[in-house]
Chains A and B, each alone.
Chain A
């Protein structure tokens, strides 16, 4: 009988510690995935001047589009990390970069240039990394929300005052990402 009296609190303590640590790990995972998105978005910001520099000599008629993407980049850099405004700007940048790629098809000299091809590859890679980070973030959000809402971990989450995470909305335009078409 005395063993049972000792075992129950030990078990409860062990469960509490494991659940607590599990929830912390999930929260950290979510933060890590979010910072990966941020890092890759910044990488994309850094690449935009190179893209504009590479294409402006060829795409004289697209000056408006190039100016727009440069302006959006500046606004996105100035916006705060988590704001809806920031994500709206990023979405517009994705659209502009896709547009540049599409219009580059009309400039054979540009699209066959090694420099532009390399930039396209870099952009494609960054877009894939953004997409991967976003998926990781959504998965981490789902995990943490399950932890918060499901019994019995919800008890520990309530004690920790944990808040539900918000997943990224997969907007169709964002899903399409930059359409990269390379010469064979």
Chain B
């Protein structure tokens, strides 16, 4: 596991010193993060890297996960989808079950701390069932709640309003709430297996394992098999490109333990692509970080054609690898990609196909966009910036109602 000093070559001593000064202000503070899985998905991935570094900086930071069975995660998946705008009419008895799991967990867990940060909707109602003391409770929402299903939002808002503060990834997701809201974009770890430099051999090994020949341009989308990531739309875009350019498509992804829908969508995608040997569908198990890294580095063009997106860290990962990315103009992708400056934003299958063709025909442009993309990520979306924002938040929570805090 990387130590703080290992980041010096990437972000510079200035930034590391800044983190140390900031951490000194909250030294010894006890912070507990709660989410719903330690395995799979962007949130778990971030917490795996962020928590050891916070501890190294002198914060007593712990990580707990709410436990539930498949039934619970089916409900929370529906809640997740409804918060992203899907109309599902979740039945009252299911919502009761959701509350019951939270209540039982609250009775069995110790969340006594200076700050408790609850990630996403799964453990959101814990605040109602855990005894209130001086702890500051913060709801960290990673998903796109810009237009949630109204019924569900009204139901959840009661719990959201009990918190002391909320964190959103981009300002479009912020709501009208009776307390301060903060913006903290997620981040990637440049030293993790998913993002570190790979040798030529490591990359070739991965391609050999999955029997992918680099004999024609590779279009890649890496994402969970999820309707909101629009894998079928990517296949359609690839078919439009294929009419003009002989290329291949890789759709690679896995599922998370709190996402029961994944396998179903995977089958649908597999079925759609079965007659084309140039479409590679890779169902990746968790801990496939080096595989994802190698695929991203091998791709000629990376797509993330999401139709809803919390942030889209997979976009960040490819940008870090100097790839020109074509992303759906939704959620957090819009604060990462800027048309023709560091990538492209698209709104349709045709748009995705057009931009892929453009980039495959113009490797010079692609290379330049990729360089800009890496620069942009270095400045805005690395884990050191994420640490800085959390450390700032810890101190701000201790000093409420001030615009400028002189430390």
A and B: partners?
no
> Which A residues are closer than 8 A to B by beta carbons?
none
Binding site for A on B (CB under 8 A): none
